[in-house]
């Protein structure tokens, strides 16, 4: 247990940030899981665009808040976008 006033404050701040980070990371995992299941279910059109936009927004918001690094966020967005486009390619080729 900390004895100094500044150390006690630092402990309070760390606990608050830990709780916030866990909440946001949990939300991110849920949103990513929803995104991947939507892509695997062959969701298309405006609904898929909305899910993708929401997922990207959550990822960049976490980066803005400092919960994940900017480059980590950019890498995740790049990967989910590529995953979505790759899943939609066979559907586009089949209609032609």
pLDDT along the chain (96 residues), means of 10: 91 96 96 94 88 96 95 97 88 61
27, two tokens? 């939300």
Asked whether residue 9 is domain-assigned, the answer is: no
For residue 58, what are the domain limits? 28-87
Asked whether residue 76 is domain-assigned, the answer is: yes
Asked whether residue 69 is domain-assigned, the answer is: yes
As for how many domains the chain has, the answer is 1
- Note whether 82 and 52 are within 8 A (CB): no
Asked whether residue 45 is domain-assigned, the answer is: yes
Asked whether residue 49 is domain-assigned, the answer is: yes
Q: pLDDT at position 95, please?
A: 63
- CA–CA dist 64, 54 (Å, integer): 15
Asked whether residue 72 is domain-assigned, the answer is: yes
- pTM to 2 decimal places: 0.82
């Amino acid at each position: 247990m900390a004895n100094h006033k500044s150390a006690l404050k630092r402990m309070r701040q760390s606990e608050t940030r830990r709780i916030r980070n866990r909440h946001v990371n949990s939300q991110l995992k849920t949103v990513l899981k929803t995104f991947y299941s939507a892509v695997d279910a062959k969701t298309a059109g405006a609904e898929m665009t909305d899910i993708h936009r929401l997922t990207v927004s959550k990822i960049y918001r976490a980066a803005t808040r400092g919960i994940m690094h900017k480059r980590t966020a950019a890498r995740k967005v790049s990967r989910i976008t590529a995953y979505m486009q790759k899943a939609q390619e066979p559907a586009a080729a089949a209609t032609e």
